[in-house]
Amino acid sequence: MKKIIITLLMTLMPALGMASGGGVHLDKVEIDLQNQESLQNGARLFINYCLSCHSAAYMRFNRMGKDIGFSTEQLKELMYSAEKVGETMTVAMRGEEAQKWFGTKIPDLTVVARARGADWLYTYLRTFYLDDSRPWGVNNATFKDVGMPHVLWELEGLKKPIYETSNEHGAEESKHITGYEIVQPGKMSKEEYDNAMRDLVNFMVYMGEPAKLKRYTIGIWVLLFLVVFFVVSYALKKEYWKDVH
């Protein structure tokens, strides 16, 4: 009986997680950890735009360099916020300062991709919209009343939501967002921004589990070994049985 309950809970868990997302529609994102160019672009965005507030305390610069193919030179250039290559990605902003400015703690992002999921992150980064009632003038459709400003607005531009009002089943009227209208264009087109966010999320997924890349390579060697082993054992079998009829 205990087993059944545990199994049931395990199956329901992801669904519960989704429900807590407030029923927002999540856009799918293609994750490709083999794409070094995308990972490098994501790392650049992450270091330039996110690390000033968030930490990624469990990620080491030199490990990242090796994993995603940055040269030592490139790595040094990126590392203006860290002193030594072996250092983790920590931030200058202290906890109490963050509390003062943002009214909340700023979460570490090392494993956020595992906690929230890639699709959630991808959607979140593309659903900031103008909202005068919020302290930073923006709100987020995926994370309602988020304490984070739209730090990428220069790239994406600023957008206004398009609402649709519905009152299904005679219930109270409810407004939901069906799309956006750009009011101030950014440096990127929508497609460019979407691609940049895919790269950023790709990097965050890698960061959440750097060993995944290694596992892929190990997997390939294991398969190769099995193929070679099969050939050898087949040859042996033939040899042993050749005189037996």
Q: Should residue 158 be labelled a site residue for ligand HEC when binding is judged by CB under 6 A?
A: no
- Out of 43, 64, 106, 141, name the contact with ligand HEC by CB under 6 A: 106
Query: CA 14 to CA 16: how far, in whole Å?
Result: 5
Q: Which residue, among 195, 190, 120, 118, has the nearest Cα to 159 in the 3D structure?
A: 190
Q: Should residue 146 be labelled a site residue for ligand HEC when binding is judged by CB under 6 A?
A: yes
Q: Should residue 102 be labelled a site residue for ligand HEC when binding is judged by CB under 6 A?
A: yes
Cβ proximity of 55 and 109 under 8 Å: yes
C-beta closer to ligand HEC: residue 149 or 161: 149
What's the angle, vertex CA 122, arms to CA 190 and CA 127, rounded to 5? 60
Q: Should residue 104 be labelled a site residue for ligand HEC when binding is judged by CB under 6 A?
A: yes
Q: Should residue 49 be labelled a site residue for ligand HEC when binding is judged by CB under 6 A?
A: yes
Q: Should residue 107 be labelled a site residue for ligand HEC when binding is judged by CB under 6 A?
A: yes
Only one of the segments 19-27, 44-52, 127-135, 225-233 lies at the binding site for ligand HEC (rule: CB under 6 A); that segment is 44-52
Give Cα 104 to chain centroid, integer Å: 21
Using CA atoms in the order 167, 171, 177, 183, what is the torsion angle rounded to 10 degrees? Answer: 70
Applying CB under 6 A, the residues found at the interface with ligand HEC are: 49-50, 52-54, 102, 104, 106-107, 109, 112, 115-116, 121, 124, 146-149, 151-152
